């Protein structure tokens, strides 16, 4: 269930990471998403799946950082992976953990 406290936690996490990465704070939309955990529009709107509040914080942080890095690099190429490694050195471990978490 998504309540204002959960939304506040997600928004504060986005704000913290946006500042750390050095990107502008995106507009945030939180809604159910049947097939995605999140997405970043070219206009800078971050959409997050309401289910992020149900997963371990390190996995929701991975999703948030992943989407914020898209403000720097639009694709998932080598440069994207370099930024991910710079800001979240264990991102590949978290990505695998997220895949396992999805199976549960």
Beta strands in 4-103 (DSSP E): 27-31, 38-40, 45-49
Half-sphere exposure at residue 11, Cβ-oriented, CA atoms within 13 angstroms: 11
> Radius of gyration of the chain from Cα atoms?
13
Q: What is the pLDDT of residue 53?
A: 87
- For residue range 39-97, list pLDDT tens digits in order: 999 899 999 999 998 889 999 999 999 999 999 999 999 999 999 999 999 999 999 99
- Position 3 confidence tier, pLDDT thresholds 50, 70, 90: low
CATH 3.20.20.70 assigned to domain 4-103? The reply is: no
Judge contact between 17 and 72, C-beta under 8 A.
Answer: no
pLDDT of residue 2 exceeding 70, the answer is no
pTM for the full predicted model = 0.92
- Position 104 confidence tier, pLDDT thresholds 50, 70, 90: low
Chain centroid to CA 83: how far? 14
Instruction: Give domain limits for the chain.
Output: 4-103
């Amino acid at each position: 269930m998504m309540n204002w406290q959960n939304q506040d936690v997600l928004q504060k996490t986005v704000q913290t990471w946006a500042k750390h990465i050095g990107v502008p704070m995106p507009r945030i939309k939180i809604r159910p998403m049947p097939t995605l955990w999140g997405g970043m529009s070219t206009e800078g709107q971050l959409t997050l799946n309401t289910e992020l509040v149900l997963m371990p914080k390190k996995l929701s942080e991975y999703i948030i950082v992943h989407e914020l890095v898209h403000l720097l690099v639009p694709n998932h190429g080598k440069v994207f992976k370099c930024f991910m490694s710079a800001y979240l050195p264990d991102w590949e471990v978290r990505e695998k953990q997220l895949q396992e978490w999805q199976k549960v």
